[in-house]
A = this chain, B = another copy of it.
Amino acid sequence: MTTLGHLINGVRVDDATRTQAVYNPSTGEVASRVSLASQATVEAAIEAAQAAFPAWRNTPPAKRARVMYRFKQLLEEHAEEICRLIGLEHGKITHDAKGELQRGIENVEYACGVPELLKGEHSKNVGPNIDSWSEFQPLGVVAGITPFNFPAMVPLWMYPMAIATGNTFVLKPSERDPTSTLYIAELALEAGLPAGVLNVVNGDKEAVDTLLDAPRVQAVSFVGSTPIADYIYGRASAHGKRCQALGGAKNHAIVMPDADMDNVVDSLTGAAFGSSGERCMALSVAVAVGDAAADALVTKMRERLATLKVGPHFDESNDFGPVITQAHQEKVCGYIDSAEAQGAEIVVDGRGVQVPGFENGFYVGGTLIDRVTPEMTCYLEEIFGPVLLVVRVDTMQEAMTLIDDHEYGNGTCIYTRDGEAARYFSDHIQVGMVGINVPLPVPVSYHSFGGWKRSLFGDLSAYGPDAVRFYTKRKTITQRWPSAGVREGAQFSFPS
């Protein structure tokens, strides 16, 4: 069995004092082991990144971009292997892994445009013969800490832009499914990144804390759960660092009475159950306005769920795969138990689903729960499983208040044909990413990703234009030249 190490200064490094099992959730078996970096190992990675910084920040942006073009090519050429590795350790079906990778590649594409994106602001004559301009210079060493649910995409939200803008990077991916992440990082080196520009350390809290505390790490990007995001933001800030920390979500869809219900069911199905609901943008609560809409929704959704197929990652006929660990499987089922106990109606029950031949896999079947109320545990917390809750309300305002009162503010959606309802909703709702008839309103790579309330701590969102600003610091130069120089001939007017 292989033990996965780290990638420091361009080479694979082992630091196998402490290791941890990585599972194949489709089968429930241990797939490999991963090293958990010590503080010294993480500091070696920081040192490598620091050493690589001066030359890399001096490399013209257009040359840095050229590495990104090659990286994109390599990602496309190795897509099949990447998706296989994602599926193996995460459990998501190949078609879903392809979607994840494609989204990641789009972030690399955005990084290709860095010469345009890094343009500073130039002002002529801020005073008489005085010019001033602002440049956006890289920070130095920056760190990224990423979750298990998108082992390819979320790291690609971070380091392509961080590196393209001139920084060097230390990535700490999830220890649950690190192989695809490391494989992709090696492709980035193959694309032409000098050694030390991108480093990967596998690890746990020790690695994280080392990154948060290290004086040479200038900024930290994090994606994960809200309690950890809160911790990371506080600790990194206490050290005077920049930090953007993205946390959890509870994304609601409002189903208005005028919604096209077939469209609702089609698109909600993917948004709620795709990737087993292990997405921070998963649509996990449908808020039906009026009982007529609720009844129609539940009826059609129940029919649809009957056709959903759960199973191992490599079988493309499956709609979704297992959840990440046995512990998480139990936790998800526990939420369904609590809903039942607290009086909700379990319309379709995914507990105890059996996948023949994969009895030890961490499967939960698609679950639909009606008549959920806001004080139920299943409503208050993020389930991160293939479970769709239905809440019934009487008015759109009531639905919006529900959403605004929730701790999280990541994504939300409204289903309607009505321009006014859509505009009112998108203007006033306290959520950062809003869909109008779009249940997974993940911004494209040339916009930025960010929730509101306790779904994001920090000033700036992830990837896209905000990433340029997060990974650079403004330098403003004001310039005046004294006269009486060569122009007036002081040095050359006398005959010689």
List chain A positions with a Cβ less than 8 A from chain B. Answer: 58-62, 65, 69, 72-73, 106, 109-110, 112-113, 115-135, 137, 230, 233-234, 237-238, 240, 242-244, 256-258, 260, 263, 289-293, 395-396, 416-424, 426-427, 431-438, 441-444, 446-450, 452, 454, 457-461, 465-466, 469-470, 473-487, 489, 491-492, 496
**Pair A482/B436 contact, Cβ less than 8 Å:** no
Complex: A488 Cα to B169 Cα, angstroms: 33
From known contacts A434-B478, A477-B434, infer whether A486 and B115 are also in contact, taking CB-CB under 8 Å.
Answer: no
Which of B124, B230, B484 meets A135, CB within 8 Å? B124
Output the least CB separation between A387 and chain B (Å): 24
Q: Specify which chain B residues have a CB less than 8 angstroms from the CB of A128 in the assembled complex.
A: 58, 60
Q: How many copies does the complex hold?
A: 4
From known contacts A438-B480, A443-B478, infer whether A119 and B122 are also in contact, taking CB-CB under 8 Å.
Answer: yes
Q: Specify which chain B residues have a CB less than 8 angstroms from the CB of A449 in the assembled complex.
A: 476
Output the least CB separation between A126 and chain B (Å): 5
Output the least CB separation between A117 and chain B (Å): 7
Q: Specify which chain B residues have a CB less than 8 angstroms from the CB of A122 in the assembled complex.
A: 119-122, 133-135
Q: Specify which chain B residues have a CB less than 8 angstroms from the CB of A110 in the assembled complex.
A: 116
**Pair B446/A119 contact, Cβ less than 8 Å:** yes
Which of B69, B427, B435 meets A124, CB within 8 Å? B427
Which B residue sits closest to A126, measured CB to CB?
Answer: B444
**Pair A489/B395 contact, Cβ less than 8 Å:** yes
Which of B130, B237, B434 meets A238, CB within 8 Å? B237
Which B residue sits closest to A292, measured CB to CB?
Answer: B496
Q: Specify which chain B residues have a CB less than 8 angstroms from the CB of A62 in the assembled complex.
A: 106, 126, 444
Q: Specify which chain B residues have a CB less than 8 angstroms from the CB of A417 in the assembled complex.
A: 418-420, 481-482, 485-486
**Pair B132/A443 contact, Cβ less than 8 Å:** yes
Complex: A396 Cα to B110 Cα, angstroms: 39
Q: Could you pull out 29 A-B pairs where Cβ atoms are within 8 angstroms?
A: A58-B128, A60-B127, A60-B128, A61-B124, A62-B126, A115-B444, A115-B446, A118-B123, A118-B124, A119-B121, A120-B133, A132-B441, A234-B237, A237-B237, A237-B238, A237-B457, A240-B454, A256-B486, A257-B486, A290-B492, A416-B486, A417-B420, A417-B482, A418-B486, A420-B482, A433-B478, A437-B481, A448-B474, A450-B473
Complex: A420 Cα to B131 Cα, angstroms: 12
Which B residue sits closest to A245, measured CB to CB?
Answer: B240
Which of B123, B234, B478 meets A119, CB within 8 Å? B123
**Pair B496/A291 contact, Cβ less than 8 Å:** yes
User: Which are the 3 A-B pairs with shortest beta-carbon distances?
Assistant: A237-B237, A420-B481, A113-B113
Q: Specify which chain B residues have a CB less than 8 angstroms from the CB of A116 in the assembled complex.
A: 110, 113, 116-117, 446
Which of B123, B421, B443, B460 meets A459, CB within 8 Å? B460
**Pair B396/A487 contact, Cβ less than 8 Å:** yes
Q: Specify which chain B residues have a CB less than 8 angstroms from the CB of A109 in the assembled complex.
A: 65, 69, 112
Complex: A230 Cα to B122 Cα, angstroms: 31
**Pair B487/A418 contact, Cβ less than 8 Å:** yes
Complex: A133 Cα to B119 Cα, angstroms: 9
Which of B134, B396, B419, B466 meets A422, CB within 8 Å? B419
Output the least CB separation between A456 and chain B (Å): 9
Complex: A263 Cα to B482 Cα, angstroms: 8
From known contacts A460-B469, A474-B432, A489-B395, infer whether A481 and B423 are also in contact, taking CB-CB under 8 Å.
Answer: yes
Q: Specify which chain B residues have a CB less than 8 angstroms from the CB of A291 in the assembled complex.
A: 496
Complex: A15 Cα to B167 Cα, angstroms: 50
**Pair B120/A124 contact, Cβ less than 8 Å:** yes
Which of B113, B452, B460, B485 meets A112, CB within 8 Å? B113
Which B residue sits closest to A486, measured CB to CB?
Answer: B418
Which B residue sits closest to A482, measured CB to CB?
Answer: B260
Q: Specify which chain B residues have a CB less than 8 angstroms from the CB of A435 in the assembled complex.
A: 477-479
Which B residue sits closest to A262, measured CB to CB?
Answer: B482
Q: Specify which chain B residues have a CB less than 8 angstroms from the CB of A258 in the assembled complex.
A: 486, 491-492
Output the least CB separation between A468 and chain B (Å): 11
Q: Specify which chain B residues have a CB less than 8 angstroms from the CB of A486 in the assembled complex.
A: 256-258, 396, 416-418, 420-421
Which of B58, B461, B474 meets A474, CB within 8 Å? B461
Complex: A427 Cα to B54 Cα, angstroms: 12
Complex: A238 Cα to B15 Cα, angstroms: 33
- Point out which of A133, A396, A449 has the most chain B C-beta atoms below 10 A from its C-beta: A133
**Pair B446/A130 contact, Cβ less than 8 Å:** no
Q: Besides the contacts A113-B116, A469-B469, what 19 more A-B pairs have beta carbons closer than 8 Å?
A: A59-B125, A119-B122, A121-B122, A124-B427, A238-B238, A290-B496, A292-B496, A396-B486, A418-B486, A420-B487, A422-B479, A426-B477, A434-B475, A437-B481, A438-B480, A448-B476, A458-B459, A459-B460, A459-B470
